[in-house]
Copies of this chain bind each other. A is one copy, B any other.
Amino acid sequence: MHSWLNNIREMKIAVDVMGSDKGIEQVIEGALLGAKQEDVDLILVGDKKKIDFTLKGNLPPGVTVEGSNKTILMEEKVSLGLLRDKETSISVALKLLEEKKVDAVVSAGNTAAFVGLAVKQLGILPGIDRPAIAILVPVADGFSILLDVGATVDATAHNLLQYAAMGNVCSQVFLRKKNPTIGLLNIGEEKTKGNSLTREAYHLLSSSFANFKGNIEGQEIFSGEIDVIVTDGFVGNVVLKACEGIIDLIRKMVKNSFSSYPLGRLKAILNRNLLQTLKKKVNYAEYGGGTLLGVNGICIISHGRSPALAITSAIKLGKEAAISGIVPRLTKTIKELEGK
């Protein structure tokens, strides 16, 4: 058995440097910083020429390059042909994980393609019906886990039950919660509230988890009272993006509000901290992105619009997931759940 130190020394993460909206430079910058901070080795996967150009020949120790010929664009439709293509950077990175040459893959590219290729190349864990993407959401004194934010649409109540089990493991692994509380995202607290999906899911969750705290409403996502918030991929994705939208709006309003006062300029300077607080604490870039749960390997989906910092954080998440042995833990958890 490996010791903690051995694990850290041997950790290697593949980063797909193509396909991000922000360009290859930011991804590489974030990846190198993450590797240094987290003391992990790195394989940069992508267009060799572009990577060499970006690095200007300075390949730091522990960092290697794996060439790939094709890039999946952010808005590209996920077709069967695309899933069969083995030359894309995402596919090449996942191949490294499949062959156990790396411990995790990070990509800031097309989420649907990443999910589709991960399912195809790594396979689904035994007993899992559908994968889910879990993210960390900010609360006053830390983070909670929200899943699914978009891996699966048209989820069933049984899918939500499995998400709860997987989110439970995530909370233990990433947030060191020993006995996380679980909540079902709904439009009212009573068990009779909600649509047909949530009413059925409530029943399954309450009979399967002692730590299930019932329905929670939208505003409670950020209250910190529930550690694992379960919802279907459609709702999770819309909520996540709506919250980003309102944060953008607030930033715009805050900036504009200064100009209407005589002391505007002074305030703008003094308010730099405040804008930084907003950016830092409520920006998804700070905590890297989503973890794809339910596939046989560690896949971290870095936020598409987010900069270098998101990649750095994604590497941290990938390392933590690998050290904790999240994949065998998820397998064990689902086996226990389904064996009931």
Which A positions have Cβ atoms within 8 angstroms of B? 75, 77, 112, 138-140, 150, 153-154, 185-190, 192, 194-196, 198, 217-223, 231, 233-235, 237-250, 252-254, 256-257, 261, 263, 266-267, 270-271, 273-274, 277-278, 281-282
Interface residues of chain A: helix, strand, loop or mixed (majority): helix
Q: Ordered nearest first, which 6 A-B pairs have the shortest CB separation? A: A218-B241, A219-B245, A218-B242, A222-B245, A187-B237, A222-B249
Q: Inside 8 A of A239's CB, which chain B residues have their CB?
A: 218, 238-239, 242
Q: How far is the CA of A234 from the CA of B277 in the complex (A)?
A: 32
- Across the two chains, which residue of chain B brings its CB closest to A112? B188
Q: Are A218 and B244 in contact (CB under 8 A)?
A: yes
Q: How far is the CA of A117 from the CA of B248 in the complex (A)?
A: 38
Q: Are A245 and B220 in contact (CB under 8 A)?
A: yes
* Nearest chain B CB to A111 CB, angstrom units: 10
Q: How far is the CA of A175 from the CA of B175 in the complex (A)?
A: 45
Q: Are B221 and A187 in contact (CB under 8 A)?
A: no
Q: Are B254 and A187 in contact (CB under 8 A)?
A: no
Apart from A77-B190, A250-B250: 9 A-B pairs, beta carbons within 8 A: A217-B237, A218-B237, A238-B239, A239-B242, A246-B246, A249-B282, A253-B282, A257-B273, A257-B274
Q: Are B140 and A253 in contact (CB under 8 A)?
A: yes
* Nearest chain B CB to A266 CB, angstrom units: 8
Q: Inside 8 A of A185's CB, which chain B residues have their CB?
A: 238
Q: Are B257 and A245 in contact (CB under 8 A)?
A: no
Q: Are A140 and B249 in contact (CB under 8 A)?
A: yes
Q: Are A245 and B223 in contact (CB under 8 A)?
A: yes
A267 interface neighbour in B219, B248, B249, B273, Cβ under 8 Å: B273
Q: Inside 8 A of A222's CB, which chain B residues have their CB?
A: 242, 245-246, 248-249
* Nearest chain B CB to A74 CB, angstrom units: 11
| Sampled A-B contacts (28; CB under 8 Å) | A75-B190, A77-B190, A140-B249, A140-B252, A140-B253, A185-B238, A195-B234, A198-B234, A217-B241, A218-B243, A219-B242, A219-B244, A219-B245, A219-B248, A235-B235, A235-B238, A242-B242, A243-B243, A243-B246, A249-B282, A253-B281, A253-B282, A257-B273, A257-B277, A266-B270, A267-B273, A267-B274, A270-B270
- Across the two chains, which residue of chain B brings its CB closest to A220? B245
Q: How far is the CA of A198 from the CA of B281 in the complex (A)?
A: 33
